[in-house]
């Protein structure tokens, strides 16, 4: 009697999951870059992968990134921070006032202090008095909008260049950084060669100029506050996942009862996390008033705090995921700033991406999703051929549309901190 041996082959999805995060990120990055390269050649839209577009995307995405990290720090500690928009408003006002009085860096420093205070106010309401987190966040948003308008009348009205809705121009600036040799940066008075620019100008070659443009955009025309904001990403990873304090902070968002049983001061950790969250959100607001324009203007945040909160969810409460989400939401706006004629090419990018998704779904035998993706891709191709210019109103709304689509598509794979937003009192039976 012989036994039949059945081959055991790992599913393709399991093989993908077994790859390291770095390898998966590299494959996705190269795949996305290849899509953009194909569209660039087909649509003759050289600017969609240019270094200028990449550096502009970084600048546009930085406030969203900081807002997303603010939401991540808060929710990892168990507090839902709906008040990120209000904290950004406070940060933008403090940044404008500080830049006017003491210069650009003084504006950012004042914004950090103001954001920490507002973050502690949210912690006081939710931790000490057990106010519903959403209600407290909405109250902070309302309070921030009204208080900054009132403060503008007191401090800015009648000043040269200022008024009821804006601050006088700030002093100083941050300058731009260009990497020597890679992006033609200077060493003393000597201007080094611009190696990546040479590769970027080879527009008739696929992938090579796109890769060169992407890398050059990361090392040219970059503001120092942008570098500081990006540096917060690996710092957050290290602190939250590699330190004892970070482990305790995450335990307060996952299971505060278990943390309390081990002697962890849950409430103190939540106050500390909210101070950091408020500072990060205010940094994002100060970036708008100090770096973007060097002037505070009423309504400057434009809902970016809510988009940042969406990147927290889209990024699955992981710092690098928040970074990817901020780039996704910032890219359409940056492309509009560069050249609106290249915006229709994004329709082709979406069409190619949907075709790839349909191919993956064929392997998984999900016919409904395959049909939907292919139908949507056909509609996008038709729209690209029919539309000569995308209305500016639609481009302005693109980040919000992307927010809804991404969150709807990724909802099944999200894992929020288990105790985020739930009431908790130390010492009580739960």
Mean pLDDT to the nearest integer, 405-420? 73
Write out the H or E segment, with its range, that includes residue 262. none
Which SS3 state, helix, strand or coil, does residue 190 take?
strand
Q: Residue 1: pLDDT above 70?
A: no
Mean pLDDT to the nearest integer, 18-23? 75
169-210 residue pLDDT tens: 988 777 777 888 888 888 878 888 888 888 888 888 888 888
Model pLDDT, residue 5: 47
95: closest CA among 31, 46, 168, 160?
Answer: 168
Cα dihedral sign, 16-20-24-30: negative
Q: Which residue has the higher pLDDT, 49 or 98?
A: 98
Q: Residue 265: pLDDT above 80?
A: yes
102-159 residue pLDDT tens: 998 999 999 999 999 999 999 999 999 999 999 999 999 999 999 999 999 999 998 9
Q: What is the pTM of this model?
A: 0.90
Under the banding of pLDDT at 50, 70 and 90, the label for residue 392 is low
Model pLDDT, residue 20: 74
Q: Residue 60: pLDDT above 80?
A: yes
Model pLDDT, residue 153: 94
Mean pLDDT to the nearest integer, 378-399? 76
- Any residues with CB less than 8 A from the CB of 16 and at least 6 apart, and which? 24
Q: Residue 408: pLDDT above 70?
A: no
Model pLDDT, residue 156: 93
Cα dihedral sign, 406-411-417-420: positive
Q: Residue 4: pLDDT above 60?
A: no
156: closest CA among 91, 100, 86?
Answer: 100
C-alpha to C-alpha distance for 17 and 147, rounded to whole angstroms: 49
Under the banding of pLDDT at 50, 70 and 90, the label for residue 42 is confident
Model pLDDT, residue 150: 94
Q: Residue 9: pLDDT above 50?
A: no
Percentage of the residues of the chain whose pLDDT score is greater than 90 = 42
Model pLDDT, residue 308: 92
Model pLDDT, residue 312: 93
Which tokens go with 69?
Answer: 């990290």
The mean pLDDT of the chain is 86
Under the banding of pLDDT at 50, 70 and 90, the label for residue 262 is confident
Strand partners, 163: 166
Model pLDDT, residue 242: 95
66-87 residue pLDDT tens: 999 999 999 999 999 999 999 9
Model pLDDT, residue 395: 66
Which tokens go with 95?
Answer: 């940044």
Q: Residue 16: pLDDT above 70?
A: no
Model pLDDT, residue 399: 62
Q: Domain map of the chain by residue range? A: 44-177+221-323
Which letter does DSSP use for residue 48 in this model? G
Q: Residue 7: pLDDT above 50?
A: no
Mean pLDDT to the nearest integer, 38-50? 84
Under the banding of pLDDT at 50, 70 and 90, the label for residue 222 is confident
Model pLDDT, residue 296: 95
Q: Which residue has the higher pLDDT, 357 or 232?
A: 232
C-alpha to C-alpha distance for 280 and 311, rounded to whole angstroms: 14
Under the banding of pLDDT at 50, 70 and 90, the label for residue 366 is confident
Mean pLDDT to the nearest integer, 6-33? 69
């Amino acid at each position: 009697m012989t036994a039949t041996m059945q081959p055991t082959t790992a599913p393709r999805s399991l093989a993908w999951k077994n790859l390291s995060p770095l390898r998966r990120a590299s494959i996705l990055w190269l795949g996305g870059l290849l899509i953009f390269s194909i569209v660039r050649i087909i649509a003759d839209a050289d600017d969609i992968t240019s270094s200028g577009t990449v550096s502009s995307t970084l600048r546009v995405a930085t406030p969203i990134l900081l807002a997303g990290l603010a939401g991540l720090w808060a929710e990892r500690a168990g507090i839902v921070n709906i008040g990120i928009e209000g904290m950004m408003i406070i940060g933008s006002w403090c940044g404008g006032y500080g830049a006017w009085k003491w210069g650009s860096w003084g504006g950012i420093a004042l914004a950090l202090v103001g954001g920490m205070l507002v973050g502690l106010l949210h912690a006081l309401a939710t931790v000490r008095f057990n106010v519903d987190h959403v209600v407290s966040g909405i109250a902070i948003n309302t309070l921030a909008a009204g208080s900054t308008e009132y403060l503008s009348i007191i401090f800015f009205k009648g000043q040269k260049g200022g008024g009821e809705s804006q601050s006088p121009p700030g002093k100083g600036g941050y300058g731009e950084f260009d990497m020597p040799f890679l992006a033609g940066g200077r060493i003393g008075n000597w201007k080094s060669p611009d190696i990546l620019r040479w590769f970027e100008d080879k527009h008739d070659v696929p992938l090579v100029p796109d890769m060169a443009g992407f890398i050059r955009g990361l090392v040219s025309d970059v503001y120092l506050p942008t570098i500081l904001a990006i540096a917060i990403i690996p710092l957050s990873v290290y602190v939250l996942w590699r330190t004892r304090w970070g482990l305790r902070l995450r335990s307060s968002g996952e299971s505060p009862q278990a943390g309390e049983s081990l002697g962890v001061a849950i409430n103190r950790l939540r106050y500390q996390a909210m101070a950091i969250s408020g500072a990060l959100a205010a940094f994002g607001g100060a970036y708008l008033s100090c770096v973007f324009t060097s002037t505070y203007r009423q309504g400057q945040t434009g809902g970016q705090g809510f988009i940042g909160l969406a990147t927290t969810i889209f990024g699955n409460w992981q710092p690098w995921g928040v970074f990817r989400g901020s780039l996704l939401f910032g890219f359409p706006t940056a492309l509009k700033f560069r050249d609106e004629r290249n915006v229709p090419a994004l329709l082709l990018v979406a069409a190619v991406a949907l075709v790839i998704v349909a191919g993956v779904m064929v392997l998984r035998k999900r016919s409904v999703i395959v049909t939907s993706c292919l139908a949507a891709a056909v509609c996008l191709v038709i729209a690209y051929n029919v539309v000569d210019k995308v209305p500016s109103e639609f481009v302005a709304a693109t980040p919000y549309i992307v927010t809804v689509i991404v969150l709807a598509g990724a909802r099944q794979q999200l894992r929020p901190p288990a105790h985020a937003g739930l009431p908790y009192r130390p010492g009580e039976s739960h």
